Each structure stands twice: as structure tokens, then as C-alpha cells.
């Protein structure tokens, strides 16, 4: 067969490639450019990271720094600021008129309910759906759907459910002869916090279920089959194989549940706005109250700083507890 005609430019390119195995030779300059050279150049790395770093500092670091700065002042948001040092922090923990300790107790109670009620329910659903049951995808979509709905919409939905006159909950209790159980669920200080937690559980149980479901599905089938051949039951497989395997995801879910409870705001704001008589007050609603209703920007900034410290501290504590168990 006759040789195909090859242009001089193609011959030159082929010659450069044969002399530069493993590298990438520029057909115009002949310079050798490798990914190793790019990665080893700190300036190139900084240039690529700079946009994300600027965004991170502008959105996260700068507001935290501003909150910390204003927490040392007595300021109404406008006019002159008066430096008072740590007086805001002292008042926050000692003054009953602020109500921070009660708000913190409510958040910690929500965190406990999330860890010991919401997460076990999510784990049970994940373990059940992880067995390749019929309609698995459909159940996943149904349980995860509340996560996709706006919190304001969910708040309005549960306001209708809890309505003392025509709400479906009280209507159902009357229909089955339990009229004495009917309540003004969001207006009674004894039931308001529990009534607020139920929509929170309903909304986010699917979120935690999906995280844990992904962990359950990642467990190698060989481990399950080996345990079943040795006579292990489903409960034993879950306890001794699945749960230890998904412990990192359990840690993440616990951290999300606790920190989410500490900084919960939107659903409580829609349902009760911290009432009645501060029965459902949490640090976030108290912070908004201080900032925009009482015009105490210094105290509001102090609460914001404490929220950051609490969330960060609990995240470290939970991570340390899981590391000790390992």
C-alpha cells in the first residue's frame, strides 16, 4: 500500500511528541507543561482559590467579625456607639429580662428530641428501605418531599392543622369522642413547644433518612452475606455490621440535628414567633427580637456570637465522642 502523504507540520508535531513522552508539548512553543508544575506552583493555587476565598470571607467571616465587634457596644443601630466591654455577655447570662437561658433550654430540649426521636426514626426508615424492598424509590421520594417544601408553606400548613376551631387535629379528636383532649395547641404554654417540634420532625426526618440510607447502601453485600451464612439475624447484622460501618454518617447526622436545633428559627417564627409567653423562644427568635423590636444591636450581636460558639462547640464535642467510641 502506498504511503499516505503527511504534511511537514504534522511530522514536526509527531517528532516533538516522540521526544516528549508523558508530557504535553505545545505545538507552537515546544514548552513542556505538566500538571505537576501547575500544582507545585503556589501562586497558581492561590489564584484559583482566590474567588472562593473572597466569597467565603465576605459571606461568613466578615459578618462573624462584625457581630463580635458590635457585641462589645451598647448601640441602637443608628447614632453613636458606647463601648461597654463584656457587659452584654454578663447581662445575657444573669438578667431574667433577656430570657436567654430559657431560650437556650428550649433549643437544647429540641436538640434532645431530635437526637433521641427524629434520628432513630430516620435510621429505622433507612434500614428498612436499604433492604431493596418493593417501591423503594417511591418511598424515598415521599419521605424526602417535605424537605423540598418551603418552611413558610409548612408553617402555614401546620397552623391550619393546629387551629382550635377547624383544625384537623381537634376535629379528629372530637369525632372519636376525645373532646376533652382538644387544645389551643400553639396558644398553650404547656403544649406549644411540643407542637412546634412535630412539624420539625416531619420536615427533616426525610433528610436524615436519606443521609443514613446512602450509608446503609454503601455497606458491602459480602459482609451481609457472610454474616447471614453464619446464622446472624437481621437485627444482629444491623447492630454488628451496618451501624459500625455507617458511624461516620451517624456522626454527621447527630451534628446536623443538634446544630440545626440550636439555630432553629424560621418554622418557630411562622408558628408562634417565640410565644406564648416565651414558651417556644429560642436564641434565634430572641436575637431577632433584640435587633429589630428592642433596637439593641449590641445585645443581638452578642446572642449571634454565642450561637456560633455553641454550634461550633457542640460539633467538636460530638466529633470527640464518636472518636472515643471508635
Q: Confidence band (pLDDT; 50, 70, 90) for 1? A: very low
- Listed in sequence order, the DSSP H helices in 20-135 are 35-40, 42-56, 62-70, 87-94, 100-113, 119-129
pLDDT 10s digits, 143-199: 999 999 999 999 999 999 999 999 999 999 999 999 999 999 999 999 999 999 999
Confirm if 204 and 259 have CB atoms less than 8 A apart.
Answer: no
The domain that holds 227 is classified in CATH as 1.10.3720.10
Q: List the single range of 27-36, 197-206, 229-238 with lowest mean pLDDT.
A: 27-36
Residue with cell 415521599: 142
Mean pLDDT, rounded, for 8-20: 56
Q: Confidence band (pLDDT; 50, 70, 90) for 28? A: very low
Q: What is the 3-state secondary structure (H, E, C) of 51-80?
A: HHHHHHHHHHHHHHHHHHHHCCEECCCCCC
In the chain, the number of structural domains is 1
Q: What is the pTM of this model?
A: 0.83
Question: What does the longest C-alpha to C-alpha distance in the chain come to?
Answer: 101
Q: Is residue 312 part of a domain?
A: yes
| Average of per-residue pLDDT values in the chain | 87
Q: Is residue 290 part of a domain?
A: yes
Q: Is residue 16 part of a domain?
A: no
Q: Is residue 131 part of a domain?
A: yes
Run of H or E including 82: strand 82-83
Helices first, then strands: H and E counts in the chain = 18, 2
- Selection from 256, 264, 261, 265 nearest residue 318 by Cα: 256
Q: Is residue 287 part of a domain?
A: yes
Q: Confidence band (pLDDT; 50, 70, 90) for 54? A: very high
Q: Is residue 143 part of a domain?
A: yes
Residue 114 per-residue DSSP state? I
State the pLDDT at residue 224.
Answer: 85
Q: List the single range of 20-24, 91-95, 174-178, 271-275 with lowest mean pLDDT.
A: 20-24
Mean pLDDT, rounded, for 206-233: 90
Q: Is residue 186 part of a domain?
A: yes
Residue 83 per-residue DSSP state? E
pLDDT score of 39 more than 70: no
Question: Domain residues for 298?
Answer: 87-325
State the pLDDT at residue 31.
Answer: 46
241: left (phi over 0), alpha (psi -120 to 50) or beta: alpha
Mean pLDDT, rounded, for 123-141: 91
Q: DSSP letters along 284-312, please?
A: HHHHHIIIIIS--HHHHHHHHHHHHHHHH
Residues in the chain: 326
Q: Is residue 298 part of a domain?
A: yes
pLDDT score of 30 more than 90: no
Q: List the single range of 33-37, 186-190, 278-282, 320-324 with lowest mean pLDDT.
A: 33-37
Amino acid at each position: 500500500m502506498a504511503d499516505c502523504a503527511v504534511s511537514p507540520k504534522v511530522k514536526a508535531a509527531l517528532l516533538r511528541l516522540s521526544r516528549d513522552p508523558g508530557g504535553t508539548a505545545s505545538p507552537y512553543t515546544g514548552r513542556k507543561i505538566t500538571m505537576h508544575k501547575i500544582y507545585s506552583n503556589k501562586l497558581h493555587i492561590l489564584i484559583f482559590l482566590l474567588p472562593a476565598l473572597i466569597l467565603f470571607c465576605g459571606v461568613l467571616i466578615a459578618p462573624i467579625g462584625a457581630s463580635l465587634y458590635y457585641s462589645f457596644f451598647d448601640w441602637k443601630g443608628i447614632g453613636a456607639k458606647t463601648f461597654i466591654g463584656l457587659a452584654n455577655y454578663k447581662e445575657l447570662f444573669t438578667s431574667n429580662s433577656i430570657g436567654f437561658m430559657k431560650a437556650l433550654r428550649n433549643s437544647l430540649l429540641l436538640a434532645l428530641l431530635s437526637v433521641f426521636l427524629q434520628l432513630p426514626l430516620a435510621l429505622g426508615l433507612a434500614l428498612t428501605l436499604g433492604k431493596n424492598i418493593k417501591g423503594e424509590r417511591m418511598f424515598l421520594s415521599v419521605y424526602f418531599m417535605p424537605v423540598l417544601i418551603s418552611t413558610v408553606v409548612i408553617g402555614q400548613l401546620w397552623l391550619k392543622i393546629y387551629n382550635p376551631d377547624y383544625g384537623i387535629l381537634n376535629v379528629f379528636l372530637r369525632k372519636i369522642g376525645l373532646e376533652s383532649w382538644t387544645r389551643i395547641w400553639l396558644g398553650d404554654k404547656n403544649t406549644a413547644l411540643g407542637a412546634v417540634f412535630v412539624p420539625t420532625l416531619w420536615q427533616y426526618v426525610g433528610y436524615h433518612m436519606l443521609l443514613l440510607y446512602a450509608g446503609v447502601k454503601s455497606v458491602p453485600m459480602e459482609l451481609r452475606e457472610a454474616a447471614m451464612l453464619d446464622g446472624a439475624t437481621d437485627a444482629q447484622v444491623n447492630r454488628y455490621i451496618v451501624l459500625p460501618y455507617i458511624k461516620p454518617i451517624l456522626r454527621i447526622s447527630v451534628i446536623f440535628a443538634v446544630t440545626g436545633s440550636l439555630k432553629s428559627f424560621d418554622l418557630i417564627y411562622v408558628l408562634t414567633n417565640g410565644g406564648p409567653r416565651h414558651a417556644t423562644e429560642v436564641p434565634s427568635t430572641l436575637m431577632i427580637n433584640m435587633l429589630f423590636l428592642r433596637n439593641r444591636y449590641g445585645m443581638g450581636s452578642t446572642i449571634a456570637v454565642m450561637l456560633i460558639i455553641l454550634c461550633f462547640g457542640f460539633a467538636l464535642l460530638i466529633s470527640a465522642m464518636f472518636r472515643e467510641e471508635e
